[in-house]
Amino acid sequence: MELFFRWIKQHLRIKRFYGTSENAVKSQIWIAVSVYVLVAIVKKRLKLDASLYTLLQILSVTLFEKMPIQQAFPHDDDSMNIDALSNQLNLFDS
């Protein structure tokens, strides 16, 4: 059990708990674990070399910027076309 809490302190970005009830603490831990797993999936799918901590830092800085996700992360493979990977319609450009 001690190892689990040490892992939470080291890997999940929980600065403080916003609620004091058991349900509030559990909910916040599950949300943090879910975000960690989603970032790990993004790292694997985009084949990024950066650590999960670095990716979380980049995401926290670029959270409200409107850009394709591949553009937020530096990628070594120039053969990947960002426009081809974007699955969004361009409504306002003529």
What mean pLDDT comes out for the span 62-69? 75
Instruction: Give the H/E segment covering residue 41.
Output: helix 22-46
Structure tokens at 26: 């559990």
| Residue 91 pLDDT level (bands cut at 50, 70, 90) | low
What mean pLDDT comes out for the span 47-60? 83
Yes or no: say if 31 and 17 are a contact pair by the CB < 8 Å rule.
Answer: no
* Sign, Cα dihedral of 45, 63, 85, 82: negative
pLDDT tens, residue by residue, 8-41: 777 777 778 888 899 998 898 898 889 889 989 9
Confidence at residue 78, expressed as pLDDT on a 0 to 100 scale: 47
Closest CA to 22 of 30, 11, 14: 30
Residues near 53 by beta carbon (within 8 Å), at least 6 away in sequence: 11
Residue 4 is classified by DSSP as H
